[in-house]
Structure 1
């Protein structure tokens, strides 16, 4: 293709400058030559007969701008046809680019937090904050993976868990993929180094008998007891229970349900409540009032959950989030299908819910050995 700067005479006494893209020619049905041209009008104008130095200078500046645009268009075409990399982008700061991608995810709270945590480790790895895309290569990618695996620490100064490494490295790779798509790198370095495998975490939960014992046991803070058992009956996260207000509790003819947005995913949720779950909430109050007033997250309440469990004869390490696990396992044990459980828990991917199905399978296997061995004298028919 040929790209030229041309001009067209106007009735106003000026030339209109435009770029012609000539793509060759073809023959029509009658054998007549048809030239393939496209035009880009630049909205730049030359005075045909400049009368003074000022007009001559204006023409020179206009001509220069038009020629600069022409150079850019020719360079863009060359990059598209010959895969010539835009060298100017290599000089840009990679950490600034990552920060921009992170801020684009601000509305998705859980995802944003993971991007933010990954950024903290990335900045520690990049002791020199002036890391440009020119510095990104396979060694850089492998180095960050090795850093996460061997050196990165949590706030409590422990090495990262397998799932934390998996999550943070995936955010880093997502940034690399986007950088490649945006033309900042010539290779997709996200695909050059294998990532971490996702680890299976232990999900502590209560059996129905344990939950019953806990419900009967004394808890120092009634609001904590109410909220925990409500979570066991509904599967709601602590964050959603803590922010729940009365306008999100709908008492209707068919029964009660919650209409709320998950804090972690910002997804709109609709969840029916059993009569017992609704009774835990008590009588209605003003629409903007928190349902669980006085509920707090901290070491004191966490410690009280453990003391409450001890009073109930439960020695497992139970946290508030264990209530959510309890709800999932109890549903699956009683025949709820995994798709329904996934929707109740608000999981985006069903593979997240399948972890609970594995727990239920384990319990079924254990149940097969509960019946004592019989002494059978003769098995022949």
Structure 2
């Protein structure tokens, strides 16, 4: 008797033109199509029989085709049962791993898309599930440590970027294994890329004060940056923040209700009047309209320079300000308001 969670495979017939019947397999419950990664109930076999056989030859033809279809049905049922016990369907190794990777990258944050593009470049745009082996993954490990950046081909990928990208790739392998699309947990045989200790430049209390006092040619850049410093939000979350995300919490206080893009975890942040002031006048859609990643490059550097800050500081590092070690939130809010 089949397990209750195992799909039952039945042979069905569907009328088509010229008084014929098309044979197909019906999976119930549906199974995942290894090519499209979508749930599917039907698999058409490309076999046709006479709807009303009139001659002995037509009857014998129907019997022979139905027998062949029944053999395939039995094989598919066996494959479904094996898949329930962790074994792979015979067709699965031929499915497109890159297509699966691309689909997964669109459901996660931006780093997944970058890793997908690196892996696509590494495999020259072709890779099936059957080709995803420990050896291939180790060679991708070596590739990340010796390749250039996607946006800046003349610059090498940093060790820490490579470490982060390989960690994301291992997360993909974990998902594929959990979905039984690869038959062994390859992560058990892979070594992580070790991160290098990097001395980062953080903004001090006096530097944030100077930044808050310094005019910025792009108003939304200044407001978004100071809002990030106060809340600790990443640039991706600042860009996607909507007014619908800012509303009253259970205590009747204004707060941010957001899903952090990097971790995909829901989070609630209380908002002070100073934080709300940086958001501007309440409206619809995006809070920081017009703000984009390009502003965090040259325009941010010019604003930092105007404030007398000469050390290299990125938007990402600016939010990890040093103030948490010496100031409380209230004092910080006073000098940016």
TM-score range, shorter chain: 0.5 to 0.7
In structure 1, what is the Cα distance between the partners aligned to 2:278 and 2:82?
A: 69
Distance 1:69 1:115, change over 3 A: same
Are residues 1:156 and 2:160 paired? Answer: no
Contact map agreement 2:79 2:88 (CA 8 A) in 1: no
Contact map agreement 2:97 2:128 (CA 8 A) in 1: no
Contact map agreement 1:121 1:152 (CA 8 A) in 2: no
Q: What pairs up with 1:1-381 in 2 under 5 angstroms? A: 53=56, 54-55=58-59, 57-70=61-74, 88-90=91-93, 92=94, 96-108=96-108, 110=109, 113-127=110-124, 129-157=125-153, 158-177=155-174, 187-250=184-247, 254-282=252-280, 284-286=281-283, 288-298=284-294, 302-326=297-321, 329-334=322-327
Question: Residue by residue, what CA displacement relative to the aligned partner does 1:339-381 show, whole Å, maximum 9, x if unpaired?
Answer: xxxxxxxxxxxxxxxxxxxxxxxxxxxxxxxxxxxxxxxxxxx
Relative to the length of structure 2, the TM-score reads: 0.64
In structure 2, what is the Cα distance between the partners aligned to 1:70 and 1:257?
A: 58
Give the count of matched residue pairs: 275
Question: Residue by residue, what CA displacement relative to the aligned partner does 1:308-344 show, whole Å, maximum 9, x if unpaired?
Answer: 3333332222233333212xx43354579xxxxxxxx
Question: Residue by residue, what CA displacement relative to the aligned partner does 1:274-309 show, whole Å, maximum 9, x if unpaired?
Answer: 232223334x443x154334434425x633433333
Contact map agreement 2:259 2:267 (CA 8 A) in 1: yes
In structure 2, what is the Cα distance between the partners aligned to 1:79 and 1:285?
A: 53
SS of residue paired to 2:319: helix
Relative to the length of structure 1, the TM-score reads: 0.58
Indicate the residue corresponding to 2:9 in structure 1: none
Q: Which runs of 5+ in 1 are unaligned?
A: 2-49, 337-381
SS of residue paired to 2:247: strand
Distance 1:86 1:169, change over 3 A: same
SS of residue paired to 1:325: coil
Question: Residue by residue, what CA displacement relative to the aligned partner does 1:45-72 show, whole Å, maximum 9, x if unpaired?
Answer: xxxxx99625555444444433444455
Question: Residue by residue, what CA displacement relative to the aligned partner does 1:177-224 show, whole Å, maximum 9, x if unpaired?
Answer: 555666666654433342212344444322222212222223333332
Higher Cα Rg, which structure: 1
In structure 2, what is the Cα distance between the partners aligned to 1:79 and 1:247?
A: 44
In structure 2, what is the Cα distance between the partners aligned to 1:84 and 1:221?
A: 57
In structure 1, what is the Cα distance between the partners aligned to 2:240 and 2:88?
A: 50
Distance 1:193 1:227, change over 3 A: closer
Distance 1:194 1:213, change over 3 A: same
My pick for the range that moved more, 261-270 or 161-170, is 261-270
Structure with more relative contact order (C-alpha pairs < 8 Å, separation 6 or more): 2
SS of residue paired to 1:271: strand
In structure 2, what is the Cα distance between the partners aligned to 1:173 and 1:251?
A: 39
SS of residue paired to 2:320: helix
